[in-house]
Chain A
Amino acid sequence: MSVVNFVGARERCSSSKLLERFKGTLKKGELQGLFSQGELVAVKFEAGERDNLRYVRPLLVKAVVDVVYSLGGQPLLVDTLSMGSKASEVGRRWLEAVVLHGFDVTSLGKSPMLADGYTGEEEMLVQVDGEELGGVEIARAVAESQALVVISHVTAHPFAGLSGALVSCGVGCASLRGKERIHAPLRPLFMQDRCDGCGQCEKHCPHDAVRLKDDRPSLDDKRCKGCAYYCTAACPVGAVVIDGRMARRFQRRVVDSALAVTGALQGKVYYVNILMDVCPYPDCYPFSDVPFVSDRGILMSHDPVALDSATLNVLDESSGIRGSIAEESESLGSSDDKLLRITGVDPTSMIAYAKKLGMGSDSFEIRKA
């Protein structure tokens, strides 16, 4: 039976500080045995898209780095590039974001690095026996490390349902090319009768995959990378949607990639899910709408299946917040399938597939710090 540790968000006095309980739990047994003295330990965090306001607080990332140091490991603080910009721009945007968001050497004691290089091409192709993928490109610095801690900001995800341990590992640790491979099945659908020919979709696509012909958009399938974002976000009349039928394939690719990462790290992976600022969109979006449940705390485990299952349980048990997307999607109650109602995608199918591939167990015990 897998163990999932829980550090609750409530802090009633200075002796119940979340940071102390978090560090204490990590130090007292969770991270021990993951790595030996002097080994390179990749600590994967997400800086968040530049204008996003709800990325993980730097103090929480620093807590993990400090614990790795104190246990004798050499932390390598890494993030990877997100899809959706010119080669010369992607790296640049990340550099601006890390500083603006407080993830730099002055605040963390360590400089964060891009694990996949300035243009997302520094990678290692790793074979995997998945149902969708036979191999995927993993960010180089992650692949070269001896152990990995994945810090995940838990949010809803439009195509996975849940952005938690599996997405942060599978997508977060893939290089930019690996991410394109994972997103490949996703495609926009243009509702031609809603379209007014404004051309914003063509203008915003960073991959030049949308062209207007006779005032109506058409897709160059070869150029489309499945980022599933720019065209749909740019449309002022809601005429571009992403084909939800592909969500299942996306979920399977996420898990295949996560399996590749754990294989490359020989299983030495630990997962930390931050259930704070739980918003409707993942951190790769340049905006993030208000949280839909109140801060619940931090869940952590060696088992990503158990962890994401536990995460879903906690989210579903929580009341949805009024005035948030929970209200609009009728998931205010404390036993609703919140993520399914908010995104239209069932996260449990992703978790079930991960269990099928042997990545973990959905039978677990929650231990409170």
Chain B
Amino acid sequence: MAKEKVWFADANAANWVESLVAKAKDLFYEAKLNECIEKGDSVAIKIHFGEWNRTRCLRPELVAAIVEEVKACGGRPFVCDTTTLTYHPYSSRFIGNLALETAARHGFTEASMGCPVVVADGFSGDDDVRVEVPTGVLLKEAYVAAAIAHADAMINLAHAKGHPVASFGGCIKNIGIGGQSKRGKYHEHLAHWGSPEDFLGWPARHPEKCLGLDCPFHKLCEDSCPRGAYHIDEDGHHFDAEKCWLCYSCQITCMFTGHECMVFTPDYFPYAQIAMADAAKGVMLTFEEGKVGHMAYCIDVDPNCDCIPWATLPVVPDIGVFASKDPVAIDAAILDMIDAAPAYPGGANKALENVQGGYKQGQDKFAITQGTSPRYQLTAGVKNGLGKMEYEIVPYTPPYNEEHIAKWQIRPTPTTLIQREMWKKRDFVLEAAPYKRVPFEEKPSHEEFKAGDRKEYLKKLPVKEWADAVGKD
């Protein structure tokens, strides 16, 4: 069976051509993503704006790098994301104005991107196009954000990381969730599916575990529901299932404040991944064949998503950048590389130390840390025709020569030559010479300035583990 090609360049860099920005631009052409774009095409560059206070979003220049190449191909790019559900009490992207404020705070503005920054489903999240998805495993329709649906081409530019519900978020998730309008997100959350006791179309509820008015977070909990679907009083937790549309807000609030009343049933997560793959298929159906390219930066690989309003230590060290025409193959390749990679010390790896001594070599890291295999979305993506799992990595090393060094710099020729001409006009550095220093012959020996006795210094460190870890010599 023919394998889908996935281009890959690693995150290490030791010279000009190896900057991740330069490699990402190279990969855009190596993977022939430029062929998705015809002159004059309106091109959606779908990214994750990141939630307010998230600290591991993609650096703006990693996005601007691709905007620049889309323009170079004659495309007219716009950077976009969509409004979210209010999945936590301080949702910062659920309406267009807040989403743009959040984007600006993370550095995504017209000025830094060099193109418009758009909330693709409008102010309220209502601006969408309904699409039939005949091959959907669970979802038979999708609601695609209008700006994405109406674009001529798209670069699906993902940040690969974990997710508390989808287990993993890469290219499938970036369009599967991120390309849906608000309606589409409720639909793929499976809201109002089955009956409340199935715990699939509704949160899993254990009202006997609610601490009621004694819970220090009970007001936040009540405030967190955008539909007033429950209230808390002396008798505990009262839930009106009719009103609930499964935005996750109560579950996130309850779970992340350390409580157990509103949670997810483990069965929910595989279905959520499958629905997400169907929604991704829906987004792809709004583009003609060959008009979408997929890229992902697998760096800052946080166990949780950019939708979470904080960030923690990654699960693996930075891996690199990927590009492909197949959204399933690229995610399959990324997941395998994450599993093969060494664990990043601290964080999720540390949490596993008492259980099994940290991540084991080659282990499915997200399956352990999130509790569900991340690969349901891949198999569902194969089933609904989104793509193929069988991939072939095409490793890329940039050529190291003068021409390639010049290729992605701020100007096409060495800027030192500009400086040379300026010094010829007026050399204000030379004008201030000689500079006032201690005479050369009188300079002190640097031996006196060597750091003090290190062992003594280490004994005074406040944390014993640091002292133990570094004081081995």
Contact = CB atoms under 8 A, between A and B. Distances in A.
A104 B109 contact: yes
B236 to A, nearest CB: 32
Contact of B110 (A88, A89, A104): A104
B100 A144 contact: no
Interface stretch (A91-99, A240-248, A284-292, A342-350): A91-99
Nearest to B114: A99
A104 B111 contact: yes
A121 interface: yes
B28 to A, nearest CB: 22
Contacts of A95: 78, 116, 118
B124 A88 contact: no
A111 B78 contact: no
A118 B124 contact: no
A337 interface: no
Contacts of A96: 116
B144 to A, nearest CB: 11
Contact of A122 (B109, B126, B150): B126
B109 A117 contact: no
A113 B147 contact: no
B123 A118 contact: no
B147 A122 contact: no
Given A88-B150, A91-B150, A118-B146, A113 B124 contact: no
Contacts of A113: 96-97, 100, 119, 123
A54 interface: no
B122 A118 contact: yes
Interface in A106-128: 106, 110-111, 113-119, 121-122
Nearest to A104: B110
Contact of A144 (B109, B120, B123, B152): B123
B313 interface: no
B147 A140 contact: no
B124 A106 contact: no
A87 interface: yes
Nearest to A109: B104
A141 B118 CA distance: 15
Give the most central of A95, A96, A144: most B CB within 10 Å. Answer: A95
A114 B126 CA distance: 13
A68 B292 CA distance: 42
Given A89-B42, A113-B97, A141-B96, A106 B110 contact: yes
Interface string A140-172: 110010000000000000000000000000000
A76 interface: yes
B123 A141 contact: yes
B163 interface: no
Nearest to A90: B150
A78 B124 CA distance: 13
Interface string A301-315: 000000000000000
Residue of B116, B117, B152 with highest tally of chain A CB at under 10 A: B116
B127 A118 contact: yes
Interface string A185-204: 00000000000000000000
B78 A117 contact: no
Contacts of B101: 110-111
Given A118-B118, A140-B122, 14 more contacts: A91-B118, A92-B76, A95-B78, A95-B116, A104-B110, A104-B111, A105-B100, A113-B119, A117-B126, A117-B127, A118-B127, A118-B145, A118-B150, A122-B146
Interface of A: 76, 78, 87-89, 91-92, 95-96, 98-99, 104-106, 110-111, 113-119, 121-122, 140-141, 144
The 4 A-B residue pairs with the shortest CB-CB distance in the complex, in nearest-first order = A117-B127, A117-B122, A95-B116, A141-B123
